[in-house]
Amino acid sequence: MEFDHAGIATDDRDTLIDLYGTLFDASVAHEETFGELRVAFLDLGNGYFELLEPTDDAEGPIPNYLDKRGPGVHHLALRTDDIDDALDAARAAGVSLIDEEPRPGAWGHDVAFLHPGSTGGVLIEFVEH
């Protein structure tokens, strides 16, 4: 597996695009509205920052995260060539899964999340491109 991206919850995606573009010479590699989120992937050369901004009146994990914790790192994502094998390995290691099966994610990738209670308090996402 390799690092894919850090998911960052924000209530001001455009400001972070400008700031990170200036600080890290990061350009927008992909943008979309995915469900109730405005998503932008900033290319860092060896991975991405995924900026996650809820649309107006959105409900779900990201708005809840922002309400409880404020803006910040929401999750870390690891790229895998076989998400089913990665989930099997996590199960075998005794890790609790949020997603028992892969599901569609941003940018058309298959994703699955591991429960942070089993991973040292870090929400981990597996991503298969």
d(CA 7, CA 11): 13
Q: In the sheet that 72-79 helps form, which strands lie side by side, from edge to edge? A: 27-34, 37-43, 48-54, 2-9, 72-79, 124-128, 110-114, 103-104
Strands 124-128 and 110-114: antiparallel
pLDDT tens profile 96-111:
999 999 999 999 999 9
pLDDT score at 74: 98
pLDDT of residue 70: 97
**The pLDDT of residue 53 is above 90:** yes
Given a cut of 90, is residue 90 above it in pLDDT?
yes
Burial (CB < 10 A; 0-12, 13-18, 19+), residue 41, is buried
User: 2-128: which CATH topology?
Assistant: 2,3-Dihydroxybiphenyl 1,2-Dioxygenase; domain 1 (3.10.180)
Q: Is the pLDDT of residue 58 over 90?
A: no
What pLDDT shows up at residue 57? 84
